[in-house]
Amino acid sequence: MKFEKPVTGGPCWTELGTTDLEGAKRFYTELFGWRPETDPREEAGNYTVAHLGDAAVAALTPLYQFQPVAWNVSFAVADADATARTVEEAGGTVILGPLDVFDVGRFAVALDPTGAAFHLWQARTFPGAGLFNAPGSLGWVELATRETDRARDFYTTVFGWTVNASQWYTQWGIGGEDFGGMADMGDRFPPEVPPHWMPYFAVADVDATAQVAVAAGGSVLMEPMSMGDVRRIAVLRDPQGAAFGVYMEGGEG
């Protein structure tokens, strides 16, 4: 991700819905050095913001009624209501909202036409993550879907993203500045795994992070691998079952 702050149309926040909030706090604190702070207001529903230093980097939440254990990605929009209408006109479905979240912003949950969930965020007092690309913070987002052509048409219509595609991978961008990608699920995923968005967090050492994850009760879904000499990545799973990626620049193990 080349952006250092939230940009309209781009990923601005990521949050985990989990069955074990306290367990998730312990796991991600050990893995990334996060400092979690739970909102004490009853109406906040134990919404917990994770910090690195003074910067908010992600959230951990109890599950919504309709939500599986998973990481979710929010995209910044200027007008959540207008974007929600565009989502539906483009073939997607809005399943929650738009609704106000105190005075911090306006929020909606949607499904793209292939079934992947994502969030819309119209900022008021809270623009989104205060740190990107640094170890422990969001640095890339990836859509896994079985209908890549349909997804490409949808997201370029809704957000105006640019597309940088090769035979193997599609990268999403804003004005040519890439922030994420799209992978064809094909036969690599069991049929019961639905299309989904997944965050990648920057780390100083992918292999060491994978070892810490396992020691803390998580597991490795995709072993560390190098993408040439550009990037080294792995996909991990936390103890409650949520998948997420980690990466470091450069391809050395």
Question: pLDDT tens, 135-149?
Answer: 999 999 999 999 999
- pLDDT for 252 equals 58
Claim: this prediction has a pTM higher than 0.85: yes
Spell out the alpha helix ranges (H) of the chain: 21-32, 80-89, 148-159, 206-215
CA dihedral for 200, 134, 110, 59, sign (positive or negative): positive
Same fold? 11-123, 138-249: yes
Residue with the bigger pLDDT between 10 and 2: it is 10
| Pairing relationship of beta strands 105-111 and 48-52 according to DSSP bridges | unpaired
pLDDT of 92? 98
Q: Say which CATH architecture domain 138-249 belongs to.
A: Roll (3.10)
Q: Which residues contact 82 (CB under 8 A, 6 or more apart)?
A: none
Fold designation for 11-123: 2,3-Dihydroxybiphenyl 1,2-Dioxygenase; domain 1 (3.10.180)
Q: Is 4 exposed, middle or buried (0-12, 13-18, 19+ CB in 10 A)?
A: exposed
Is a pLDDT exceeding 70 seen at residue 251?
no
Average pLDDT over every residue of 6-11: 96
Mean pLDDT over residues 6-14, rounded? 97
pLDDT at residue number 42: 83
Residue-level pLDDT at 100: 96
Q: Is the pLDDT reported for residue 124 higher than 90?
A: yes
Rounded CA-CA distance 215/227 in Å is 25
Domain locations along the chain: 11-123, 138-249
